Structure 1
Amino acid sequence: MTERYRGGRICLWRALFFLWLASVALAFPQNQSSKSAPADAQPKFMIVGDSITHGADGDHTWRYRLWQWLTEQGYQPNFVGPYRGTHGPADPNSARPLPARFEGETQESYSNLEGIYASNVEADFQTSAHAAWWGRQAHQVKDWIKGWVQEHQPAYLLLLLGFNDLGWSVQGPEGLLGDMGVIIQSAREAKVDINVLVGNVMHRSFLEGRQDLVDNTNSYNSKLAETVPNWFRWESPISVVDVASNVNCRPEGCPHGYDGLHPNEMGEYYIAQAFARVLKSSFHFQGEDFRPPASVPARQLSIPGNFRVSAVDEGFFVEWDRMATARGYDIRMRQQGSTQWWSEEAVSPSTFVSYMTWVVEGETWEFQVRARGDNGAVSDRSSLISSTAHPKTAGGPSGIAVYPEGNGLRFSWDAVPRSDVNRYQVMILDQDVAGSYIEGHATKGTSHAISNLRSGHRYSTSIQTWVDLGNGRLAGGRPAGHRHARVGSGTPSASPKDLKVQNLSAVQILLEWPSVSDALGYAIYVRNINDGSNFKLDGSTTGTSYGVGFLFPGTWNFEFCVVSYNGNLETSRDSCVIPPPVYP
């Protein structure tokens, strides 16, 4: 009796269990057409990322390609977040050169302009929002994500973060994984039933000396795939999106990028495809598979339009029309009459204006500009435009001296005799580290010491004068260059030996000598042997030859000495020569 009763209860529970399974099957129909949608036909997405997701001027972005696919499948996606648009060029105001700051001094900063989408992106998407920003790190997002989700209440959270954390050594793989866990937990605290798609980190083309980036990316992606299943919650499903395998951007090369990392138009399609696949396979989105096109049109470039140059108080102001398809611009300049370009480089900050301030009154300069596109593509250059300078700046000071001192350099100079001098900027450049930037130090006085430099490294040195133009405008003129100096070293071991002199004419000579191993350069002194005058510095060079002209009444009336230097530490004048008469 008892046994029969228990068996009846078992049969009853089995029947109830199969009825529940049937109800689940009815809730998720399996055979819908490609245009049908799940219960929510207007899904709300928040896409969180860095520059790979933000995009730049003229990009479609992978966000748009995903939106486009969802729309084609019959959905009405709503993309939400704190930002709109792509990453535009720097504000033109930020191109104005600024001096080195004093301790505690602030300077006005400018945000980048909002970027422009590609011209064929639908207006409905152009007004959409997102949570991606150039340079963004997961380490930063973990502190903001809860507020974003609370405010916008997305149903789906799509994350594509981590490259900047690993690339800039903000976090290692374990730290990045921990930050990603915090992001997901914080999002769930703001919306308990949020659906989460976590993209792994894309590779980039190999950077010299950065095998650690390759290894850390592989390590993080492996750890992410192993860990995400442990983060699954029935009320808040989560899946990994294998972007790294889907996009053709690897240490060996990056055909899907325009600069070795950031996606070109084809790369945008393949990132979107990776997310679309997971939306279908794990989140019950219906429709056709996402299929990237076989090819895309090349990004169009043209010569920047309306190119113009103005002489201003700072020197020259160069400007041209903003071009949506440009990845940046190159500018080159030279003094009129020269066959060599004084400067030929990318415009920085990346915008559509540029200043040239290292000029003096009456100089005429010539300028050209061109646009840069994907993977080194460039437009033709603009026509040559010239202008004559009438700056109100001041030149660098005279009487500069620099001495190695401990782990740094000590400078002194003569004051510039102008009442509007605001500060001096001592400028150094490490010549022994490739890709170094000029380092500037501000001071009000006529001496300054810089410490904590690399011992044994060779630094070029110069000093710039900054004046007050009024209305809060400061301008720096052409710096006064000075000698190279090696930190942590003393006077060179010897002056050049075997100094030779060649008469090029009766009033012009050429000096030549073998190099001295520990010399940073050489100073050339000259005196008239007939009037008893003292030696005077004629100039200096980092080479092993030097020419002197206008030696009246003849070269044989002068004595020349060459010394080795390290900054203003010089060897004795024991290597000297008097030219033989040209007309005996």
Structure 2
Amino acid sequence: MRASALRCTIVATMTAARLVKGLAIPDLVADGDLSYAAIPSNADTNTVRILVCGDSISQGREGDFTWRYRLWEWFHNNSNAHMQSTTTTTPSAQNHPPQPSSSPSSNTAGTTNNDKNIYPAIQYVGPFKGTLPASVDAISVDPTNPQTWGTYHPTVSPLFSPGGGSSHFAVYGRPAWQDIEPLHEQITTHNPDILILHLGFNDIGWWGNNATDLLYSVQRLVFNARLARPDIKVLIADVSHRVAVAGREDIEGITNQYNALLDTSAAEWWTEGSPVEVVRVSKVYDCQVTGCPAGIDGLHPNSLGDFQIAHAYTQVLHEKFHYGTAPLEVPSPETIPGFIIQSPTIGPGYAPNPPIHFLAAGAGLFSLALVAALKPEWLRLRRGRFGFGGVMKGRYHLLPSR
């Protein structure tokens, strides 16, 4: 009788402990204390599961390679090369789950000890697989109604597409704040080892968010991700610049301010159990307010830009988590399929001045074209508190692309 009662007491105590542990909220515990609630890694430790949460820069348009493919290719090539090199020798070490750096400020760049490197296969996870279809207008696309059935460049590996390797959670026009609630469900469903957050331009450019607004949205994304998986690793891309747009000179300053805040805040969000690393895409992706040779429209990457963005990710993945033998190398533009080198202008980098009457006619045609191009966006203006004319903050968007 006593033994039975004692057994019941022990079972009840263990059950209560599990319930309490399951209710632990990551942002309420001290740094370094989060690892106690870490859930087991995926059973297949030779595979790393990655969820890409992003916008148009990550989804891509029909016919694109996308930077996601170049990152997938890097993982795939490293894993295959490592397997081939070990077929004739005795493996000295098995692949292990991703290991974070010892601290958010530690720098393992230049490490040459190959014993630390690991070579897992990559498995993208997420609810979508495709790019934005060519039949969909990228300007007026509704980010709450994802259009994801577009195909990729015809030369991508069939293992990536249509073979099921292209899964993602990236949607054209999607701002960071819109993913805060859905992200928890995606992580619960797909259980990624690594979360990539590549968001932010739409918040600044289309929704009028300032740097602090965007930072708060990203912080909530990180903490909501930890609620679903406390030991998740998080990579956050900073916001890359776009070619200057008349009337929106504020974008450059807000972008710079946010990127600076992100560097500081990510170090504060970092824990040993759930490391957070910033991927400095803006330092690698050749797209600035003065020009964007790696982009197709002053913002979205072309096939060269895909390599550059993927390179930024592999720098962090190799230096902080020891994936692969080295970061991805960006090839010469002329060797990249699909890259079109712009024909040079007359003379050393400038175009001839047209006659004045051509300028006047051109200005008139440009005005008509601008009105036609922006018509969908005028219709997107929301009624403010002072009626249709009283447009509230973030509702006036003079941007030619998302």
Please give the range of the TM-score, normalised by the shorter of the 2 chains: 0.5 to 0.7
For residues 238-317 of structure 1, what are the structure 2 equivalents within 5 Å?
238-296=276-334
1:61 is the counterpart of 2:66: yes
What's 2:245 paired with?
Answer: 207
Residue 375 of structure 2: which of 405, 423, 437 is its match?
Answer: 437
What's 2:222 paired with?
Answer: 184
Instruction: Write the distance in 1 (CA, Å) between the matches of 2:68 and 2:334.
Output: 17
- Give deviations 1:349-374, integer Å, cap 9, x for gaps: xxxxxxxxxxxxxxxxxxxxxxxx99
> What residue identity is the alignment partner of 1:236?
S
1:233 is the counterpart of 2:271: yes
- Give deviations 1:255-313, integer Å, cap 9, x for gaps: 1101000000000001000011101111221323310101245776xxxxxxxxxxxxx
Q: Do the aligned partners of residues 115 and 296 (structure 1) sit closer, same or farther apart at CA in structure 2, a change above 3 Å counting?
A: farther
1:114 is the counterpart of 2:149: yes
For residues 332-411 of structure 1, what are the structure 2 equivalents within 5 Å?
none
Aligned-pair CA distance for 1:135: 0.5
Structure that is richer in strand per residue: 1
Instruction: Write the distance in 2 (CA, Å) between the matches of 1:144 and 1:49.
Output: 12
Q: Do the aligned partners of residues 89 and 113 (structure 1) sit closer, same or farther apart at CA in structure 2, a change above 3 Å counting?
A: farther
Question: Secondary structure of 1:144's partner?
Answer: helix
Aligned-pair CA distance for 1:143: 1.4
Instruction: Write the distance in 2 (CA, Å) between the matches of 1:283 and 1:148.
Output: 23
Q: Is the 8 A contact 1:91 1:111 kept in 2?
A: no
Aligned-pair CA distance for 1:432: 11
What's 1:79 paired with?
Answer: 124
Residue 89 of structure 1: which of 115, 134, 137 is its match?
Answer: 134
Instruction: Write the distance in 2 (CA, Å) between the matches of 1:148 and 1:88.
Output: 23
For residues 77-156 of structure 1, what are the structure 2 equivalents within 5 Å?
77-90=122-135, 112=147, 114-126=149-161, 127-128=164-165, 129-156=167-194
Instruction: Write the distance in 2 (CA, Å) between the matches of 1:53 and 1:277.
Output: 18
What's 1:16 paired with?
Answer: none
State the structure with bigger RCO (CA 8 A, min sep 6), 1 or 2. 2
Aligned-pair CA distance for 1:65: 0.1
- Give deviations 1:533-560, integer Å, cap 9, x for gaps: xxxxxxxxxxxxxxxxxxxxxxxxxxxx
> What residue identity is the alignment partner of 2:61?
A
Q: Do the aligned partners of residues 137 and 113 (structure 1) sit closer, same or farther apart at CA in structure 2, a change above 3 Å counting?
A: closer
> What residue identity is the alignment partner of 1:145?
L
Give the number of aligned pairs: 267
Q: Is the 8 A contact 2:203 2:214 kept in 1?
A: yes
Structure that is richer in helix per residue: 2
Instruction: Write the distance in 1 (CA, Å) between the matches of 2:225 and 2:124.
Output: 16
Instruction: Write the distance in 2 (CA, Å) between the matches of 1:240 and 1:110.
Output: 29
Aligned-pair CA distance for 1:160: 0.6
1:219 is the counterpart of 2:224: no
Q: Is the 8 A contact 2:146 2:172 kept in 1?
A: no
> What residue identity is the alignment partner of 1:122?
S
Q: Is the 8 A contact 1:205 1:251 kept in 2?
A: yes
Q: Is the 8 A contact 2:195 2:234 kept in 1?
A: yes
Instruction: Write the distance in 1 (CA, Å) between the matches of 2:181 and 2:136.
Output: 27
Q: Is the 8 A contact 1:58 1:116 kept in 2?
A: yes
Question: Secondary structure of 1:281's partner?
Answer: helix
Instruction: Write the distance in 1 (CA, Å) between the matches of 2:285 and 2:244.
Output: 15
Q: Is the 8 A contact 2:75 2:122 kept in 1?
A: yes
Q: Do the aligned partners of residues 297 and 233 (structure 1) sit closer, same or farther apart at CA in structure 2, a change above 3 Å counting?
A: same
Aligned-pair CA distance for 1:90: 3.1
Q: Is the 8 A contact 1:43 1:76 kept in 2?
A: yes
> What residue identity is the alignment partner of 1:130?
H
Instruction: Write the distance in 1 (CA, Å) between the matches of 2:368 and 2:61.
Output: 34
What's 1:198 paired with?
Answer: 236
Q: Do the aligned partners of residues 72 and 58 (structure 1) sit closer, same or farther apart at CA in structure 2, a change above 3 Å counting?
A: same
What's 1:172 paired with?
Answer: 210
Aligned-pair CA distance for 1:243: 0.4
Q: Do the aligned partners of residues 433 and 219 (structure 1) sit closer, same or farther apart at CA in structure 2, a change above 3 Å counting?
A: farther
Relative to structure 2, which stretch is displaced further, 162-171 or 57-66?
162-171
User: Structure 1: where are the runs of 5+ without partners?
Assistant: 1-38, 96-108, 301-324, 326-372, 377-430, 441-450, 455-584
Instruction: Write the distance in 2 (CA, Å) between the matches of 1:163 and 1:244.
Output: 12
- Give deviations 1:181-212, integer Å, cap 9, x for gaps: 00000000000110111100010011111111
> What residue identity is the alignment partner of 2:330?
P
Instruction: Write the distance in 2 (CA, Å) between the matches of 1:375 and 1:224.
Output: 34
Q: Is the 8 A contact 1:299 1:374 kept in 2?
A: no
Aligned-pair CA distance for 1:434: 6.1
Instruction: Write the distance in 1 (CA, Å) between the matches of 2:375 and 2:249.
Output: 24
What's 2:52 paired with?
Answer: 47
CA RMSD of aligned residues (A): 3.1
Question: Secondary structure of 2:221's partner?
Answer: helix
Q: Is the 8 A contact 2:128 2:148 kept in 1?
A: no
User: Structure 2: where are the runs of 5+ without partners?
Assistant: 1-43, 80-119, 344-366, 380-386, 391-402
**TM-score when scaled to structure 2?**
0.61
> What residue identity is the alignment partner of 2:58?
T
Question: Secondary structure of 2:195's partner?
Answer: strand
Instruction: Write the distance in 2 (CA, Å) between the matches of 1:89 and 1:145.
Output: 27
Instruction: Write the distance in 1 (CA, Å) between the matches of 2:331 and 2:215.
Output: 34
